[in-house]
Structure 1
Amino acid sequence: MRIETCYFCSRPAYPSKGITFVRNDGKQFRFCRSKCHKNFKMKRNPRKLQWTKAFRKAAGKEMTVDSTLQFAARRNIPTRYNRDLTQKVLKAMERISEIRQKRERVFYKKRMAGRRARELADARKLVQTHSHLLPRMRGSEKRKLALEGMAQEEIQRLEQEHVLPVETKKVFGKEKLRQRVRTDGAVDVVPGDMDIDSE
């Protein structure tokens, strides 16, 4: 059973699956699915579409120069059937696939080295350039922190570092207030995030 490769995306095109287009000059184009066939008819370049193997190779995301890739090349030289040779070939195919997977893992690790540092640098740059979009501390939250005994300099430092209180139980526009009725009949107003203990 011969498994062809898709002309457009280089995926395997299995027998009785996909589409075969034969041009007037006799050249055959095998496609794994209608998506590839439609893109071919629209005359799109596979190297510019991110989901194709051609793009991945052109962008340096896959191995292009390796000795294990040469074994997959088709050879049109017929060989006489030999049982021992066939067994050797099958063993060699397994070994070659193991070696290729190992080399692809090493290639991926080298390619992704330093990715976390790059992502952090990009995130820091984004925060610096768009700091005006970060959430600000409300005036009621500042007052609450001041009532708790925090110094004004500390509150300003928290605001500059964009550190917000962990839990906010505020209603938009107003601070949620609760009333506490004491045993002597007096009424106390308590901020919404403080616990009401029974007296």
Structure 2
Amino acid sequence: MRVENCFFCGRPAWPSKGITFMRNDGKSFRFCRSKCHKNFKMKRNPRKLKWTKAYRKNAGKEMVVDSTLQFAARRNVPVRYDRELFAKTLKAMERISEIRARRERVFYKKRMAGKRARELAAARKLVEQNEHLLPRLRASTKKELEAKAAEMGVEVEELEREELAKLRSSKKTKVFGREVVRQRVRTDGGVEEIPGSGEGHMHGDGHDWENNDDDDDDDDDEMDTD
């Protein structure tokens, strides 16, 4: 059983699967799926599409020079059938696939080495450039921390750093104005808070403009019914 590679993306095209295109000059093109066939008919360059093997090899994301890749080369050499040779060939194919998988893992580790350090450097640079967008402590909070530091005998900077870390880690941050919380009365007489009612944008006058928009829509509906 011969497993051919897709002419466009390079994936394996299994027997009885995919599409075979025969050109007028007699050359055949094997495609693993209709997606590759359509891109081939649109005359697209596989080296410019990120989901193809050609692009990954061009970008250095796939092994190109390796001894295990030579075994997958197509050879049209007739060989007389031999059961022992056939069994040895199958064992060798399994062993070669194991070696290739191990070498691909090593290749990936070498290629991704230092990625974490680069990401951290980019994140630090982004924080330095946009430091004015980070949450800041209020003057009242700073005074409280100063009094607390005087009582505990600790530096104020440490408490400020801890408080800022809490603000940045938490999803909800302190904002100016009061938080509008909607409640509804249950049938049994209890009161429960409507989930997500206090997540609107707050302003200095304590109004939640998103919730007010909903109220305006309800008023418009009532006016229409009248």
Same fold, judged at TM 0.5 (above): yes
SS at match of 1:94: helix
Q: Give the equivalent residue in structure 1 for 2:98.
A: 98
Q: TM-score, structure 2 length as denominator?
A: 0.65
Provide, for residues 111-147 of structure 1, a one-character-per-residue CA deviation record: whole Å limited to 9, x for no partner: 121121111111111112222332233445445535x
Provide, for residues 127-182 of structure 1, a one-character-per-residue CA deviation record: whole Å limited to 9, x for no partner: 12222332233445445535x5347x8369937x9545477785751389xxxxxx
Corresponding pairs, count: 173
Q: Give the equivalent residue in structure 1 for 2:51.
A: 51
Candidates 174, 183, 188, aligned match of 2:178: 174
Q: Give the equivalent residue in structure 2 for 1:2.
A: 2
Tell me, in whole angstroms, the C-alpha distance in 2 between the residues paired with 1:139 and 1:36: 62
Q: Give the equivalent residue in structure 2 for 1:192.
A: none
Q: Give the equivalent residue in structure 2 for 1:78.
A: 78
Alignment of 1:24-173 (within 5 A): 24-146=24-146, 149-150=148-149, 154=156, 158=160, 163-165=165-167, 170=174, 173=177
Percent sequence identity over aligned pairs: 71
Return the structure number with greater helix share.
Answer: 2
Tell me, in whole angstroms, the C-alpha distance in 1 between the residues paired with 2:127 and 2:175: 27
* Distance 1:92-1:164 versus aligned 2 partners, 3 A rule: closer
* Distance 1:133-1:71 versus aligned 2 partners, 3 A rule: same
Confirm or deny: 8 A CA contact 1:19 1:30 kept in the other structure: yes
Equivalent residue letter for 1:174: R
* Distance 1:137-1:34 versus aligned 2 partners, 3 A rule: farther
Q: TM-score, structure 1 length as denominator?
A: 0.73
Tell me, in whole angstroms, the C-alpha distance in 1 between the residues paired with 2:98 and 2:44: 35
SS at match of 2:29: strand
Query: What runs of 5+ residues in structure 1 fail to find an aligned partner?
Result: 177-199
Query: Pairwise CA RMSD of aligned residues?
Result: 2.9
Tell me, in whole angstroms, the C-alpha distance in 1 between the residues paired with 2:60 and 2:179: 56
Tell me, in whole angstroms, the C-alpha distance in 2 between the residues paired with 1:99 and 1:54: 22
